[in-house]
Amino acid sequence: MRKKIITIYLLIFVLIILLGYFFLYNIYGSEVRKTPENLFADPQSEMIIEVVPVNGLGSRAWFRTSSAKFEIIEGNNLVEVISLNEKNGQLKIRSLGEPGKVGIKIKSQHSLFPEYIEIEIHPRTV
């Protein structure tokens, strides 16, 4: 009787570990997040672009990072790169004070095709 109970508890524990691995830890895709959402024509305006690995439940994968390569295709004279961390998939840019559009191509380790994001630098309003 005691062996059956221990076996059942052990099977439940292994099942929980496997489900946690497949749904919470495994990476099923990647998502690009911008913080803040807008960039303004102000030399103090900064934006962090981050590639986030997504798990089976649609949220950030636990204890995982996604490396990515960033390439500024359009408007490279409108922003300056403050920091670039390709290993963790993060790019930090700052506006140079001119309004316009910036296009960035992002190739993530966990994506099939590159992603293209367009950031509009809004004019300063008083």
pLDDT score, position 58 = 87
How far apart CA 67 and CA 110 sit, in angstroms, is: 8
Whether this prediction's pTM lies above 0.85 is answered by: no
pLDDT score, position 83 = 95
pLDDT score, position 24 = 87
Report cis status (omega within 30 of 0) of the bond before 36: yes
Tell me the CATH number for domain 2-122: 2.60.40.10
- Residues 68, 109 contacting (CB under 8 angstroms): yes
pLDDT score, position 84 = 95
Residue type present at position 109 = Q
Count CB neighbours of 65 within 10 A.
18
* C-alpha R_g of the chain: 21
pLDDT score, position 126 = 64
Q: What are the two backbone dihedrals, phi and then psi, of residue 12, each rounded to the nearest 5 degrees? A: -65, -40
Along the 126 residues of the chain, how does pLDDT read in single tens digits?
789 999 999 999 999 999 888 888 888 889 999 999 889 998 899 999 999 999 988 889 888 888 999 999 999 999 999 999 999 999 999 999 899 999 999 999 888 899 999 999 999 876
